[in-house]
Amino acid sequence: MATARHCSIHLESTPYYHVVSRCVRRSFLCGEDPITGNNFDHRKQWLVDRIKTLGDIFSINICAYAAMSNHYHLVLHVDLGQAKQWTDREVIQRWGTLFTKSVAALIVDGQSLTPRQKEAVDLQVNTWRERLSDISWFMRCINEPLARLANQEDHCTGRFWEGRFKSQALLDEGALLTCMAYVDLNPVRAGISQCLEDSDFTSIQERIQAYQQNQKNSTDKYSEQPSQLLPFGAHPTQDDDQMTLPMNLIDYLTLVEWTGQAIRDDKKGAIPAHITPILRRLSIDESQWLNSVKHFHSRFYRMIGQLHTLQQACRTMGQSWVKGFSAAKALYLNQTN
pLDDT score, position 205? 93
Asked whether the beta carbons of 27 and 160 are under 8 A apart, the reply is no
d(CA 288, CA 279): 11
Nearest Cα to 295, choosing from 185, 196, 203?
A: 185
337 within domain boundaries: no
Residue finishing a domain among 115, 131, 147: 131
pLDDT score, position 212? 84
Residue 108 has pLDDT above 70, yes or no: no
Domain of 97 in residue numbering reads as: 87-131
Give the mean pLDDT of the chain.
81
First to last CA, the chain: 29
Q: Does 220 lie in the same domain as 188?
A: yes
pLDDT score, position 221? 46
Nearest Cα to 72, choosing from 35, 112, 43, 36?
A: 43
d(CA 97, CA 141): 11
Q: Does 13 lie in the same domain as 93?
A: no
List of residues 6+ apart from 230 with CB closer than 8 A: 61, 62, 63, 77, 243, 244, 245
Q: Does 70 lie in the same domain as 147?
A: yes
Q: Does 209 lie in the same domain as 236?
A: yes
User: What would the pLDDT profile of 163-201 be if each residue is shown by its tens digit?
Assistant: 788 999 999 898 899 999 999 999 988 888 888 888 999
Mean pLDDT to the nearest integer, 51-75: 95
User: What would the pLDDT profile of 116-160 be if each residue is shown by its tens digit?
Assistant: 877 888 888 999 999 999 999 999 999 999 999 988 888 888 888
191 within domain boundaries: yes
User: What would the pLDDT profile of 277-301 be if each residue is shown by its tens digit?
Assistant: 778 777 887 778 888 888 777 777 6
Q: Does 94 lie in the same domain as 63?
A: no
Q: Does 201 lie in the same domain as 100?
A: no
249 within domain boundaries: yes
Total domains present in the chain: 2
Per the model's pLDDT, the better-predicted residue between 108 and 250 turns out to be 250
pLDDT score, position 64? 97
Q: Does 40 lie in the same domain as 145?
A: yes
Asked whether the beta carbons of 224 and 214 are under 8 A apart, the reply is yes
CATH code (residue 305): 3.30.70.1290
178 within domain boundaries: yes
3-state secondary structure of 202: strand
User: What would the pLDDT profile of 212-248 be if each residue is shown by its tens digit?
Assistant: 887 777 655 444 678 789 999 854 444 555 688 888 8
pTM (2 d.p.):
0.84
Q: Does 142 lie in the same domain as 106?
A: no
272 within domain boundaries: yes
User: What would the pLDDT profile of 295-333 be if each residue is shown by its tens digit?
Assistant: 777 777 677 888 777 777 777 776 666 777 787 777 887
Pair type for strands 303-304 and 166-170 = parallel
Q: Does 321 lie in the same domain as 246?
A: yes
336 within domain boundaries: no
204 within domain boundaries: yes
Q: Does 256 lie in the same domain as 172?
A: yes
DSSP 8-state symbol, 207: H
Q: Does 298 lie in the same domain as 169?
A: yes
Q: Does 246 lie in the same domain as 102?
A: no
